[in-house]
Amino acid sequence: MAEPQLCPFTLRKKRADCVKVAIEDSAIGASANERGKQVTSLIWVGTALLLGTAFWSDVRTMRIPNELTGGFFAAGLLIHVSIGGMGGLGKAALGAAAGFIPLLLLYFLRGIGAGDVKLFGAIGAWIGAASVLELMLYSMLLGGIGGGIYLLAVKLRRRISSIIDRKRDSDSYSDRDRDCDRNQELESDQVHDANNAMPRPPVRFPFMIAVMPAAIAMQLLG
How confident is the model over 150-188, as pLDDT tens digits? Answer: 677 777 877 787 777 777 766 655 555 555 545 555 455
Residue whose C-alpha is closest to residue 51's, from 138, 109, 130, 153: 138
Nearest 5°: the CA angle 114, 117, 120 is 150
**Predicted local confidence at residue 27, as pLDDT:** 44
Instruction: List C-alpha distances in Å: 22 to 10, 18, 19, 204.
Output: 18, 6, 5, 61
Residues of the chain with pLDDT under 70: 1-33, 35-36, 146-147, 150, 169-204, 222
**pLDDT attached to residue 111:** 77
The pLDDT value given to residue 22 = 47
Distance between CA atoms of 138 and 213, rounded to whole angstroms? 9
pLDDT at 184: 54
Alpha-carbon distance 136 to 220, whole Å?
Answer: 16
Determine the pLDDT at residue 12.
55
Radius of gyration of the chain (CA): 32
d(CA 136, CA 138): 6
pLDDT given at position 192: 46
Residues 6+ apart with CB under 8 A from 91: 80, 84, 128, 129
